[in-house]
Amino acid sequence: MEERAMIFIDGSNLYHSLKQHFARTDLDIGKFARKLLGRRSVVRIYYYNARVGFKEEPDRYRQQQAFFASVNAIPYTELRLGRLVYNNWPSVPPYEKGTDVQLATDMITHGFKNNYSVAILVAGDNDFVSAIQSVKDNGKHVEVALFGQEGTSRRLRSVADKVTNINARLLKDCWKETMSQKPYEAE
């Protein structure tokens, strides 16, 4: 029986990790997803992020909209947006609200609906441990793709059925072809 997979990407975590580990953010999400899938068929790719405020940051908002359009253009991909909360802007940076809960809820709901046999989570947040366990308890496999050394995200690594380390070798063929389009600055 062919394995059917869904990929759940924490966009903010991916962006900041790429910036920290590779000093670049021009990852081709479609190529990256195909690499994670291997020979499995894709059911859906969910990309989670928070919309920048137009009033607060009009330039970043426009860049982000272009980036979101490129994500929406990837076949079988859906963009799921939380929001950024601006308190005491610009002296205090905004914070994300709703994206992690939405990701965890979608991963659990699709698992219980039998929409996939394998969930692939691209995130490094230990807050997803309970959601992963819930999906596994429903008979699904859960893989986690994350950045960092073996000592990072220990709880996430221990609960996952399989861990894929996102490193230079994995990303070798996953960068965008040209740098003509300025990568979206998420945070």
Could you read off the pLDDT of 84-102 as tens digits, one per residue?
999 999 999 999 999 999 9
Cβ-contact 64, 186 below 8 angstroms: yes
- What does DSSP say about strands 118-122 and 77-85: parallel, antiparallel, or unpaired? unpaired
pTM of the predicted model as reported, rounded to 2 decimal places: 0.92
Higher pLDDT pick, 1 / 146: 146
Other C-beta atoms within 10 Å of 180: how many?
A: 6
Look at residue 139 in the predicted model and tell me its pLDDT: 97
When pLDDT is averaged across residues 19-26 and rounded to a whole number, the result is 94
184, pLDDT greater than 60: no
Nearest to 173, CA basis, from 34, 13, 18, 5: 34
Tell which residue, 11, 134, 131, has the closest CA to residue 80.
11
Backbone angles phi, psi at 79, to 5 degrees: -95, 130
By 3-state DSSP, what share of the chain in percent is helix, strand and coil, each rounded to 5? Answer: 40, 25, 35
Residue type, 60: R
For β-strands 118-122 and 4-10, DSSP reports them as parallel
State the average pLDDT for the chain.
93
Mean pLDDT over 42-58 rounds to 97
The C-alpha atoms of residue 64 and residue 136 are separated, in whole angstroms, by 34
Q: DSSP label at 40?
A: S
99 touches 82 (CB < 8 A): yes
Split at pLDDT 50, 70, 90, the class of 149 is: confident
Q: How many percent of the chain have pLDDT more than 70?
A: 95
Tokens coding 42: 């894709």
For residue range 69-85, what is the model confidence (pLDDT) as tens digits? 999 999 999 999 999 99
CA distance 92 to 48: 23
pLDDT at 152: 80
pLDDT in tens, 160-172: 999 999 999 999 9
148: pLDDT strictly greater than 70: yes
